[in-house]
Structure 1
Amino acid sequence: MDDMLAQLRAGRLAGATRIDLSCGLTEFPREVFDLVDSLEVLNLSGNALDTLPDDLHRLHRLRVLFCSDNRFTALPESIGRCRSLDIVGFKANRIRSVPAGALPASLRWLILTDNEIEALPDSLGDCARMQKLMLAGNRLRTLPDSMAKLERLELLRISANRFEALPGWLPALPRLSWLACAGNPFDTQAEDAAIAARSVPHVDWREIVLGEKLGEGASGVIHRATLGADSQPVAVKLFKGAITSDGWPHSEMAASIAAGAHPTLIAARSRIDGHPEGTEGLVMALVDPAFATLAGPPSLASCTRDVYAEEARWSTAVALRIACDIASAAQHLHARGIVHGDLYAHNILWHAQGGGRLGDFGAAWLTGALDAKQARAFQALEVRAFGCLLEELLQRCTDTPPQETVALKDRCLGADAAARPTFAEVLSVLQRHAPRP
């Protein structure tokens, strides 16, 4: 990164569309303005900045601005004058104030995770293009009612805040599909009860032998491992303990434990006790290595939709088998009072002969504090997320899917949440067409 700053100052980045500067900056480098006619992505994360220049709008082609892990205490109002901005990220600063003028109406993705924000301005409701809003780890007790106008909002993260109740208008947002809200006062009692319950066995750390790392996410690291005297092969997730874009790892553990066992769910089998550093962890079933991740996470361009490999193709039979398995897992979760919150292809493992397995409870939350009508309304959001998945699966079929499944997809994606089918209805349709395992 120091090399890029040197190149910038030497004038050797003419025509650059993206620059990444993470080198202890305490002041905005004015040489960036030499790129006013080309710069589209500016990443200033990991510095010591607390202000941006008032004339930032001179970067008239700027679409993406990242300033995470800096020292901002307020979202700079100069951002609001950048009329082409699509994406703004200020994760892990010290932001307490979000002025009304700091939000350009062009925004479709705003990241303010892990700050100290207590209130948001009504002007947030004027960001009509907003699709993705990341607010976990702040001090919010409510959201501005103006957000009820955000008809394009699809993903909302408000975990680890101070909500005593969820806004009543949330389920009415026509495109909202991925909601994370664990770790708030309305939800914490249910989380504590889930963790305290003996719904999964406790395993002593000394019974576990860690093997290779299988993967790493925002909340923790997953290892291959063996368990007990018979060296039973398992997977072990060790939590990092820090706030993530989805919320607290404690909330993920609570949902994983509450989920219980299901054949198409990658859930907790045991909770780990006695780690020498006090690290919390879970033992999970080791998924056959023949299973692969269905898709990659959303990109800057796709925003809320997963990115599939170019060669991702399958028969209708395979697509419907995967869809059936994931709908069955979601139905199981809803019956147990859990909303997954992140029902996405990138959280699904699949195999052409083995179907699909749903994992990653990082955004999951418990509906125990809601009445039955409220719970159904929020479960309907997840049905829309499933509709997105079903749409993606059907788009990549090498043969023509049954019309009834296409119509089901349309019902799941419907703007009226109350008219969407339940997962029981979804399964009844899919099982008429999906091959039996």
Structure 2
Amino acid sequence: MQHPHTLERLRRGELAGLRRLDLAEDLTDFPAEIFDLADTLEVLNLSHNRLSRLPDDLPRLHRLKVLFASYNDFTELPDVLGACPHLSQVGLRNNRIAHLPAAALPPRLRWLTLTDNALTTLPAALGDCVALEKLMLSGNRLTVLPASLAGLPALALLRVAANQLPELPGWLAELPALAWVAGAGNPWCAASSECPAEVVQVPWSALTLQQRLGEGASGVTWQALWQPDAGPARPVAVKLFRGAITSDGLSDSEQAASLSVGPHPQLCSAWARLTAHPQGATGLVMPLLAADLQPLAGPPSLDSCSRDVYAPTARFSVSQAVRLLRDAAQALAHLHTHGVLHGDFYAHNLLWHPTSGTAVLSDLGAALRWPDGAGFAWPTAQRWDVLAFGHLLEEVLGRLVVSEEAVALRQRWQPWQTACQSTQVHERPAMCEVARALAASSA
């Protein structure tokens, strides 16, 4: 059994040589003993403490690459972070940060998470962080995004949901690498958080919860039995929302998007809204998926940043690849047909059956019904999801089991991968076009 990291063990020298240190002990001051790990420490996690400052000599941790200090008492991002030469990931969510000084931006910044703070502005210097790949700012008070961000060539994931943005700037649609966007819960798309007027409602009293199926940032999903007014009980899945801000935003937008797209065999969308919960919780009632479905890949790691992590042994036969890619394309095209941006189209949100290759697209937490009169046209916004699908094509086609049939499939579908991944956003095809072409080429 591995013992947790503690300040006492650190002081006794038992943690010498660590590359990652996790300390959560209600700390109010930065323990000086951490500097004893300077020659090895790369990841420092000080989340769930009561820290409000970092030491001026923090760069003594000369190998430090990742710093987490979420759920603390910081009111601004410490300037000293900008002096850490190898620091590439900074995560301080759920603090009280109202100021982001330009001096606090590390030169190699690749991933910045400041979800659920109190920021009203961002420094123009953020646009100088040319390696920035993930920027997570949901749950702040931003009213504008600095135009300097238009020069970020590597920005792939942007989370600005639940802010005070009156519009999305047009340059956002021109970023060449942007594939995953969450922007719901802002004034520019307020109407998109309203559920459709006519929607099926299922009272809590008609449901019997069974086992827990899964848990995510926004809530918990349960297997349940639904007893309608007439007829036999029906197995369903029920997602109960927590109501807290996540990196994708608030639950209202997810519910509105999920209920507006209607059923599709390759999409895990809701068919009813939960009502009359005794504690006032909100929730969705969804089809119960087959128990043997599994995520196609794991979520991004600290090293991969914005790209999913596949098992080292992951390989796909031609029949598996054809089925899962066609299913994924059809699900995404269905969303776009109904005016909904997925915003988080990843392999880890694709549930698939390895034997048949059948795939179901899940997790609409970042989804958004695109509003009329947005900062730029809906066909342009869709191209973010299209780029994400292009990445999936690359990942699956690059893991085909070697065979002549695999070579032929790769040759047929490579042009679509290239088109979907074009850095010229307006040259990417529409998703319905991609779905039709892939279906025809594999028939």
TM-score (norm 1): 0.96
2:45 counterpart letter in structure 1: N
2:358 counterpart letter in structure 1: G
Distance 1:62 1:218, change over 3 A: same
**Shift, 1:373, TM fit:** 5.7
- Residue number among 48, 51, 55 corresponding to 1:49 in the alignment: 51
Percent of paired sites with the same residue:
50
Match of 1:240 in 2: 242
Match of 1:406 in 2: 414
1:328 counterpart letter in structure 2: Q
Which ranges in structure 1 are unaligned for 5 or more consecutive residues?
none
- 3-state DSSP class of the match of 1:189? helix
C-alpha offsets along residues 355-377 of structure 1, whole Å, 9 cap, x if unaligned? 21111110111212346962111
Between 1:316-325 and 1:95-104, the stretch displaced more is 316-325
* 1:421 to 2:429 alignment: yes
- 3-state DSSP class of the match of 1:57? helix
- Residue number among 341, 359, 362 corresponding to 1:359 in the alignment: 362
Residues 317 and 434 of structure 1 are in contact (CA less than 8 Å); yes or no, is this contact kept in structure 2? Answer: no
Written as runs of structure 1 = structure 2, the 5 A alignment for 1:277-288 is 277-288=279-290
**Shift, 1:149, TM fit:** 0.9
* 1:392 to 2:395 alignment: yes
Q: For 1:359 and 1:49, how far apart are their aligned partners in 2?
A: 37
2:399 counterpart letter in structure 1: R
Residues 190 and 369 of structure 1 are in contact (CA less than 8 Å); yes or no, is this contact kept in structure 2? Answer: no
Q: For 1:70 and 1:80, how far apart are their aligned partners in 2?
A: 19
C-alpha offsets along residues 284-308 of structure 1, whole Å, 9 cap, x if unaligned? 0011112211111111111111111
**Shift, 1:205, TM fit:** 0.8
C-alpha offsets along residues 88-142 of structure 1, whole Å, 9 cap, x if unaligned? 0000000000011000120100000000000010110111101101000000011
Match of 1:349 in 2: 351
C-alpha offsets along residues 328-368 of structure 1, whole Å, 9 cap, x if unaligned? 11111112111000001111111232521111110111212
Written as runs of structure 1 = structure 2, the 5 A alignment for 1:223-234 is 223-228=222-227, 230-234=232-236
- Residue number among 101, 104, 111 corresponding to 2:103 in the alignment: 101
Which ranges in structure 2 are unaligned for 5 or more consecutive residues?
none
* 1:127 to 2:121 alignment: no
Distance 1:2 1:413, change over 3 A: closer
Written as runs of structure 1 = structure 2, the 5 A alignment for 1:13-52 is 13-52=15-54
Q: For 2:323 and 2:375, how far apart are their aligned partners in 1?
A: 30
2:209 counterpart letter in structure 1: L
Residues 111 and 133 of structure 2 are in contact (CA less than 8 Å); yes or no, is this contact kept in structure 1? Answer: yes
Q: What is the root-mean-square deviation of aligned Cα atoms in Å?
A: 1.4
- 3-state DSSP class of the match of 2:271? strand
- Residue number among 170, 175, 178 corresponding to 2:177 in the alignment: 175
**Shift, 1:432, TM fit:** 2.1
- 3-state DSSP class of the match of 1:212? strand
2:424 counterpart letter in structure 1: D
Q: For 2:327 and 2:442, how far apart are their aligned partners in 1?
A: 10
C-alpha offsets along residues 261-299 of structure 1, whole Å, 9 cap, x if unaligned? 122111001101001000001110011112211111111
Residues 85 and 106 of structure 1 are in contact (CA less than 8 Å); yes or no, is this contact kept in structure 2? Answer: yes
**Shift, 1:71, TM fit:** 0.2
